[in-house]
Amino acid sequence: MVNNKILSRNWKKPTAGIVLAAGLSERFRGTKQLARFKGKPLLAWVLNAALNSHLDRLVVVLGHDAGRILKALGPVTDHPHLHVVVHQRFREGLSQSLRAGLAAVQASYPSVMFLLGDQPLVNTALVNLLLARFWRSSKDICVPVCQGRRGNPVIFSRIYYERLQALKGDIGARRLIEADPDQVLSVAIENPLGFTDIDTRADLKRLGTT
């Protein structure tokens, strides 16, 4: 039996991206988004990757030190596909930032990709690979997997928007993914470096900052 979702090829298009970058970065002991990586602010890497991808719109959620971050990012903040949300409740945890980003696009987009602002090795090719696989599938969630480990970015169709908006505390959408394994499309990724989170200055040093 042919799945009606697959027959309706565009039922999950277009997709908006949401970059979560509002946190205090307490383990980093400084404003992590402003840390230099290969000549650019850490946050600039994921923004550039997403803006050059097949995402139709990009929202970046800022909070802590938002003014300094915007100044450091420079001209990229004027990109016509980028929308900045300055979230005042960032101290309440990751779920609040996720909800703030989703609120900016959920009325107009049937699916969203969540990206983390501290993953500078996530590139345009990975974003496009996940989008292509997600759009072709009948699944409502898409995650990259490398060596048995699930990572980010993660994509959700609109059927999860209400549940995403109900999240609370300092958690992301992991519980939703674990609760509905039959709805998850896992995309194999060969390079584990793509999953690298920068949580501490030591993490950044291991990647190299020149």
Q: Which residue has the higher pLDDT, 42 or 191?
A: 42
Percent of the chain residues past pLDDT 70, beyond the cut: 93
Q: How far is CA 126 from CA 88, 129, 136, 143, 192, in A?
A: 31, 5, 16, 11, 12
pLDDT at 9: 52
Q: pLDDT at residue 190 above 50?
A: yes
In this predicted model, what pLDDT tens digit does every residue of 99-133 receive, in sequence order?
A: 999 999 999 999 999 999 999 999 999 999 999 99
Please tell me the distance from the alpha carbon of residue 133 to that of residue 142, in angstroms, as a whole number.
8
Segment 58-62 mean pLDDT: 97
pLDDT at 210: 44
Q: Which residue has the higher pLDDT, 12 or 91?
A: 12
To the question of pTM greater than 0.85 for the whole model, the response is yes
Q: Which residues contact 137 (CB under 8 A, 6 or more apart)?
A: 6, 185
Amino acid, single-letter form, for residue 149: R
Structural domains of the chain in order of their starting residue, each with its CATH number = 13-207 (3.90.550.10)
Burial of 93 (0-12, 13-18, 19+ CB in 10 A): middle
Q: Which residues contact 168 (CB under 8 A, 6 or more apart)?
A: 93, 95
Segment 19-29 mean pLDDT: 79
Could you tell me the pLDDT band of residue 23, with boundaries at 50, 70 and 90?
confident
In this predicted model, what pLDDT tens digit does every residue of 47-59 receive, in sequence order?
A: 999 999 999 999 9
Q: pLDDT at residue 45 above 70?
A: yes
Q: pLDDT at residue 2 above 50?
A: no
Q: pLDDT at residue 4 above 70?
A: no
